[in-house]
Structure 1
Amino acid sequence: MTAGEPTDANAVAPAGAPRLTLALPDEAATVALAEDIAAILKPGDVIALHGDLGAGKTTFARALLRALADDPALEVPSPTYTLVQPYELPRLAVAHLDLYRIGDPSELDELGFDEFVATGAALVEWPERAGDRLPDTTLSLELAPGPDEDSRVAVLTVDAGSWASRLARTLGLRGFLDQSGFAGATRRHLAGDASARTFERVASGERAAVLMNWPLRRDETVVRDGRSYRQIARIAERAEPFVAVAAALKAHGYSAPDIHAADFESGFLLVEDLGRDGVVRTGADGEPEPIPERYEAAIDLLADFHSDAMPPPVPVGEAGELYVPPPYDTDALAIEVDLLPAWYLPSLGTEAMAAADIDRFQALWLVRFAALEGRPVHWVLRDFHSPNLIWMADREGVARIGLIDLQDTVVGSPAYDVASLVQDARVTVPDDLHDALVARYVAARREADPAFDEDGFRADLAVMEAQRATKILGVFVRLDRRDGKPHYLRHLGRIRHYLRKAVSHPVLSDLRVWYETAGIFRTDD
């Protein structure tokens, strides 16, 4: 197998065959392999580098560290004399160790090796001097001269852990890039979301794109009626919906990304790079804050979209099947709010659990969801908030807002997307800006349709704001406790404030009493 040759993207190396041999025809191929491995590196990983002088270990280590730093000029000195060179990089810390000069494996304690691996990753040269101190999950990478000048052969060996499946995945992505006109492209990590998907910005010459890596999920836990949570909540499990929704939005004149290439079975998409400029800025306190005129452009987009009829079914895939977003029905809405008693309430302690009448909570929400039946529906993009909105200053009107993260689009209350924006989960939207954006949306809808039901919309908005905030409180605690992502907890105070504002609407008076009795807002007093 040569570097970049496509592999089974979901394969795991078979038992008894933990070795993978790659032909690297030139230095660029060695750099590409380093970037491929940098893309999958995670805390706890150790890479043992083997090879004679001049075999390419320095080239590999430098390329991997520069890829992680997203800095092609990063200084990467040899750790020969310092023994260890630490790097605090944006995605994770990495320690580069050269063990040639240690006399005994116990010296790894003095170097802080265990501490490095507990919180970051490690590149280890002369790993044989570590004795049995390297983890069983260490990836062994041996580099040797190849048959031609500047060529090398890389042999990757792993005895345990997830390296085999991760290597198959990242090499499959490299093959996909090669086949899609991005041969030899650089790969740089992009901030991901709360899902299993990952994103990279790739570049080949003057061309740039975003690579979406969407692993296929298996063994989903059945929670109700033979369906998983994702199925009930209408969370997309494949990439086809993203492609279909993007095409429909572009046909309406909105700035959704072009699709350069797609491998639906593997879960690979290569899409237009809409840029890096967002709708927030850094405030005086160092925290992100809304740029009001960009939020206004975003609310104008929603008003424009909702004033028109829903898009017709969209063909997607080679067979041209017609895609219609699923309904955001009572089952979906209800299983989302159930995340609060399942995850958030336990985090408050036994007192909150004892005070909470879960059956009444669910019954009150079912009444509110039933009231939505017969109300206007439209496409709901689902996460219409700052992480998914790109500012495109070179475009005009509603096209100035670039739209990403489209795969979970459903058909439901248009108030939901308004709620997503005016109560941005990751950025504090001040109450006065919230109210101004809602008023701006209402004015635009009434201009397009004098019969627009403002009172009904505001009631629907309160319900959708409360539903979304309730769900997010549960999601963010789940991300901490189940997935080991504690940074989401810093948003909880903001979400509670949003929820308190939403349930102040008279239509939610019964639910407001329930939340107060359960002590949901107690930590904000």
Structure 2
Amino acid sequence: MSDPGSVLVLDLPDESATARLGRCLARLLRPGDTLLLEGEIGAGKSHLARSLIRQRLGRMEDVPSPTFTLVQTYEAEDGDIWHADLYRLSQPDEIAELGLEEAFATAICLVEWPQRLGRYVPADAMTLRLERKGEGRTATILAPTRPGFAAALRAVWDDAGPGGGRGMTDRAALALDFLQTHGWADARRWPLAGDASDRSYQRLALGDRRAVLMDAPPGKGDDPADFIKIAEFLGRLGLSPPAILARDLKHGFLLLEDLGDDLFARLIEQEPAREAPLCRAAADVLIRLHQAAPPPGLPDLTAADWAEAAMFCVDFYRHALTGDHAGRDALRAEMEHILTAHADGPRVVILRDYHAENLLWLPDREGVRRVGLLDFQLAQMGQPGYDLVSLLQDARRDVSEATEAATIRHFLERSGRSEQSFSAAYAALGAQRALRIIGIFARLCLVGGKDRYLAFLPRVWSQLQRNLGHPALSDLARIVNETLPAPDAGAIERIRLQCRRT
């Protein structure tokens, strides 16, 4: 008969509680411990083991069920973890062939269907039995050879609370809690390419279902509430932002519709002839966007604000190369003058990062809904040509001059704008944007330790010079070329050598 002090019974009302127990156990188990997991099929044994393993590893690892492989092993900092599912074991003598007998002495071993161990059951093994109880389950933990284990587990369980048991990192544990709450805890996960922000993304696959997890840590500058606000606005216009499947604004998580992999940039790289029609489709989205009344509360900068924003090019790029800020006041004043004269008319909603890496082709939809939209949470009020410049003067890839000219013509014809006045506005916005991007890419290296963006500086400089070639920008061209050194190989290397390594 078991010593009552070696037994603990816990109610687990839902999947989240089962995972919480796994995390709590991970804090107490040590190499050489064996935990026998008993319970019928579907009782939650693999779910608990998955949570325990991830907590012990300290990272979000893919933890598949060992139903067919019989054993899965993992390397943790303080020893190996073995996860065995012996349901398909034909006879106990196969235990030796699997290596489990040796593992019992040195690793943390989690064994499902332990009755198939026969004579190989370790004498000091602990048992966890899961039994269904209503919509949840009951867990009974027996540790007859570990005095105090049940009491320690109870203390950890009570201390952890419903969202506790952290350890893999707070963000990872919070993300797992979020996914458990919404039925995605068992999904396979892999990272998606990020951007220059603090946001990160993971694609989720659960059977034939797909979704994307957005992780935007609070206090880092990007509020998921802004994403939701703009996504709902775009959806009301009949456009295609990802649908919001679930949200946790307090902790900065969103579960999003997965719009697929057909990024414009990827499609154009595979088939360059698609560049012009895809850019035309993207221009049609902008026309629809510009016809709409904006949602309330969007930022609306003045020409002076936009000019100041461009001064990153002096504050970071020039300063990294010369050690001073000479020419800043003259450049800012002329930039403001140009914007006031040519690009300070009625505002429309702009999405800001409107380029081929943030646009997806959705051929099964119709009209403007065929263009999937990403990374729009920083939308604000601005000039009609701003997003067109973002699309056609892409910092990351070359857009042919023929496509640029054809897309501008299409945009002007569909929107009824004057080519003469638009050309000066387009050049002014292009110059402002290029100057700011040059500064941003330098700052990403100097402050953020991200030097890969330096490779784009020559392209952005070339775009800047093309914009400065417009007759209306002749004075700005002179000041820019007096103030900013060209980003040749030597200049880029000097900035790289100052890159903050994080």
Q: TM above 0.5, one fold?
A: yes
Distance change (3 Å), C-alpha of 1:455 and 1:168: same
Q: Which residue does the alignment assign to 2:488?
A: 523
Question: How far apart are the structure 2 equivalents of 1:341 and 1:40?
Answer: 43
1:185: Cα distance to partner?
2.1
Mapped contact 1:338–1:471 kept (Cα < 8 A): yes
- Choose which of 398, 419, 425 in structure 2 pairs with 1:460: 425
Question: How far apart are the structure 2 equivalents of 1:238 and 1:405?
Answer: 12
Distance change (3 Å), C-alpha of 1:282 and 1:247: closer
Secondary structure of the equivalent of 1:521? coil
Mapped contact 1:480–1:489 kept (Cα < 8 A): yes
Distance change (3 Å), C-alpha of 1:461 and 1:38: farther
- Whether 2:189 is the aligned partner of 1:187: answer yes
Q: Which residue does the alignment assign to 1:508?
A: 473
Mapped contact 1:496–1:520 kept (Cα < 8 A): no
1:331: Cα distance to partner?
5.6
- Whether 2:313 is the aligned partner of 1:340: answer yes
Letter in 1 for 2:387: D
Letter in 2 for 1:518: T
Distance change (3 Å), C-alpha of 1:297 and 1:238: same
Bigger drift between 261-270 and 179-188 goes to 179-188
Distance change (3 Å), C-alpha of 1:473 and 1:146: farther
- Whether 2:331 is the aligned partner of 1:361: answer yes
Aligned 1:340-419 pairs, distance under 5 A: 340-349=313-322, 353=324, 356-371=326-341, 375-419=345-389
Secondary structure of the equivalent of 2:259? coil
1:29: Cα distance to partner?
4.3
- Whether 2:79 is the aligned partner of 1:50: answer yes
Letter in 2 for 1:27: S
Distance change (3 Å), C-alpha of 1:435 and 1:179: same
Question: How far apart are the structure 2 equivalents of 1:30 and 1:508?
Answer: 65
Letter in 2 for 1:275: G
Letter in 2 for 1:371: A
- Whether 2:231 is the aligned partner of 1:250: answer no
Mapped contact 1:183–1:204 kept (Cα < 8 A): no
* Identity fraction in percent: 32
Letter in 1 for 2:82: G
1:494: Cα distance to partner?
0.9
Question: How far apart are the structure 2 equivalents of 1:336 and 1:326?
Answer: 14
Letter in 2 for 1:393: P
Question: How far apart are the structure 1 equivalents of 2:320 and 2:233?
Answer: 41
Secondary structure of the equivalent of 1:383? coil
Mapped contact 1:377–1:414 kept (Cα < 8 A): yes
| CA offsets 1:439-473 (integer angstroms, 9 cap, x no match) | 2211211xxx4xx3332222221111111111111
- Whether 2:280 is the aligned partner of 1:296: answer yes
Mapped contact 2:427–2:470 kept (Cα < 8 A): yes
- Whether 2:258 is the aligned partner of 1:273: answer yes
Question: How far apart are the structure 2 equivalents of 1:389 and 1:486?
Answer: 25
Question: How far apart are the structure 2 equivalents of 1:191 and 1:34?
Answer: 26
Q: Considering only aligned residues, what root-mean-square deviation do their CA atoms show, in Å?
A: 4.0
1:183: Cα distance to partner?
3.7
1:38: Cα distance to partner?
4.4
Distance change (3 Å), C-alpha of 1:470 and 1:21: farther
Query: What is the aligned length?
Result: 386
Distance change (3 Å), C-alpha of 1:333 and 1:4: farther
| CA offsets 1:186-217 (integer angstroms, 9 cap, x no match) | 22211111111111111222221111111011
Aligned 1:182-221 pairs, distance under 5 A: 182-217=184-219
Distance change (3 Å), C-alpha of 1:283 and 1:409: closer
Question: How far apart are the structure 1 equivalents of 2:408 and 2:375?
Answer: 23
Aligned 1:12-51 pairs, distance under 5 A: 20=27, 26-31=45-50, 37-39=58-60, 47-50=76-79
Mapped contact 2:216–2:223 kept (Cα < 8 A): yes
1:495: Cα distance to partner?
0.7
| Structure 1 unaligned residues grouped into runs of 5+ | 7-16, 60-77, 79-97, 101-124, 127-143, 156-163, 219-235, 314-322
Mapped contact 2:445–2:453 kept (Cα < 8 A): yes
Q: Which residue does the alignment assign to 1:433?
A: 403
- Whether 2:302 is the aligned partner of 1:329: answer yes
Q: Which residue does the alignment assign to 2:292?
A: 309
1:434: Cα distance to partner?
1.6
Mapped contact 2:279–2:403 kept (Cα < 8 A): no
Aligned 1:70-149 pairs, distance under 5 A: 147-148=128-129
1:57: Cα distance to partner?
6.8
Secondary structure of the equivalent of 1:473? helix
- Whether 2:454 is the aligned partner of 1:489: answer yes
Secondary structure of the equivalent of 1:291? helix
Distance change (3 Å), C-alpha of 1:384 and 1:283: closer
Question: How far apart are the structure 2 equivalents of 1:300 and 1:434?
Answer: 14
1:419: Cα distance to partner?
0.7
| Structure with higher helix content | 2
1:478: Cα distance to partner?
1.3
Q: Which has the larger radius of gyration?
A: 2
Letter in 2 for 1:383: D
Mapped contact 1:211–1:268 kept (Cα < 8 A): yes
Question: How far apart are the structure 2 equivalents of 1:38 and 1:486?
Answer: 26
TM-score, length basis structure 2: 0.67
TM-score, length basis structure 1: 0.64
1:243: Cα distance to partner?
0.8
Letter in 2 for 1:464: L
1:290: Cα distance to partner?
7.1
Secondary structure of the equivalent of 1:147? strand
Secondary structure of the equivalent of 1:189? strand
| CA offsets 1:328-387 (integer angstroms, 9 cap, x no match) | 33464234212111111133345xx58x41110111122234336751211011101112
Distance change (3 Å), C-alpha of 1:166 and 1:459: farther
| Structure 2 unaligned residues grouped into runs of 5+ | 1-9, 18-23, 30-34, 38-43, 63-74, 86-98, 109-124, 131-138, 142-148, 157-165, 491-502
- Whether 2:169 is the aligned partner of 1:167: answer yes
1:275: Cα distance to partner?
0.8
Secondary structure of the equivalent of 1:468? helix
1:49: Cα distance to partner?
3.9
- Whether 2:225 is the aligned partner of 1:240: answer yes
- Whether 2:266 is the aligned partner of 1:264: answer no
Secondary structure of the equivalent of 1:344? helix
